[in-house]
Amino acid sequence: MTHTDTTDTTAGLPEQGDILAVARRQVLEEGRGLSAAQALACLRLPDERLDELLALAHEVRMAWCGPEVEVEGIVSVKTGGCPEDCHFCSQSGQFASPVRAAWIDPDELVRAARETRETGATEFCIVAAVRGPDRRLLDSVRAGIAAIRADGNDVNIACSLGMLTPAQVDELVEMGVHRYNHNLETARSHFDRVVTTHTWEERWETCRLVRDAGMELCCGGIVGMGETVEQRAEFAAELGSLEPDEVPLNFLNPRPGTPFADLPVVPAREALKTIATFRLAMPRTILRYAGGREITLGDLGTSQGMLGGINAVIVGNYLTTLGRSPETDLAMLDELQMPIKALSSTL
């Protein structure tokens, strides 16, 4: 994938031609993602052009990724009580939010992995609400992976355990973790309005270490945290320059007790424009619907997003909010005639 210049403010501006005509040539035909300025032009398209934008994003996804949809399940091994202050997160121990600190036991982990695999999912992500892993957490992840394998489960294991040191990255590689999730969350220029206990650069560094160690990188964020449309475009281009294998795209689901509890939900049309624009910024990535889609898009918008650039979904419950049932999602994929990506093709 080519490097996207996030500082370029002139390339591909609408003056050089209609942005969708430019994107058709640059992204669909050549596979080069949109710059920040180009992403901004897409986000600013009038509502009357939404269908055209979604159709182009779908063409790009089919051309560069194919029709398969990656299905993934997640389990939280340690919930709540996190020392960080990410303002959107009900798992922070700094807010009066209802999620209390809790660990799950190894049997539950094995059962969750088995149920995930039985849906046809190829990815099972082990998540912990921490700043970064300590010895206890790494040991329990190691034991958990061994127990999942002993259960005869061949699902790909992903982890999301916060910021990592180089030695911890090496240890996860050695355990056989094939993908690591660490989100940049939002544009660099907006980050200090969202988190004050660590920096965007610290997050970037963990992402870089993961990628350089040869693990697949899953890195995305949340839209609707008070950022401007310019910052949304900046974020798309920043992610594009990191070249993640997978991008989970969340829309803020304002959680009671968090500093973002009263932020408005992103309107459905704006969310769909964002999905399509992120696809055009990253033609080859696995673009995944993550939390917040139910309240932003509803059922109809969910399938519209699948036809507007999305090619991965999480089945079942999310970390702190209730998602849709696996059956609903799998039936939707069936209806859209999108096959579930098989395990062998991800190896």
Query: Which spans of this chain sit near ligand SF4 (rule: CB under 6 A)?
Result: 82, 84, 86, 89, 91-92, 129, 162
Neighbours of 17 (CB within 10 A): 13
Closer CB to ligand SF4, 6 or 186, in the complex: 186
Three-state SS at 261: coil
The CB-of-130 to ligand SF4 minimum distance in angstroms stands at 7
Are the beta carbons of 266 and 252 closer than 8 angstroms? Answer: yes
The CB-of-196 to ligand SF4 minimum distance in angstroms stands at 11
Look at the block and give the residue holding tokens 């969750």.
112
Torsion, CA 223, CA 132, CA 318, CA 247, rounded to 10: 50
Closer CB to ligand SF4, 6 or 253, in the complex: 253
Task: Give the whole-angstrom CA distance, residue 53 versus residue 276.
Answer: 7
The CB-of-220 to ligand SF4 minimum distance in angstroms stands at 12
Closer CB to ligand SF4, 12 or 80, in the complex: 80
Task: Give the whole-angstrom CA distance, residue 246 versus residue 181.
Answer: 9
Closer CB to ligand SF4, 174 or 201, in the complex: 201
Closer CB to ligand SF4, 259 or 309, in the complex: 259
The CB-of-213 to ligand SF4 minimum distance in angstroms stands at 21
The CB-of-82 to ligand SF4 minimum distance in angstroms stands at 3
Angle at 284 between CA 278 and CA 290, to 5 degrees: 50
Closer CB to ligand SF4, 91 or 231, in the complex: 91
Tokens representing 230 are 């310019």
Look at the block and give the residue holding tokens 């990815």.
123
Task: Give the whole-angstrom CA distance, residue 179 versus residue 226.
Answer: 30
Q: Which helix (H) or strand (E) holds 299?
A: helix 293-306
Are the beta carbons of 283 and 27 closer than 8 angstroms? Answer: yes
The CB-of-277 to ligand SF4 minimum distance in angstroms stands at 24
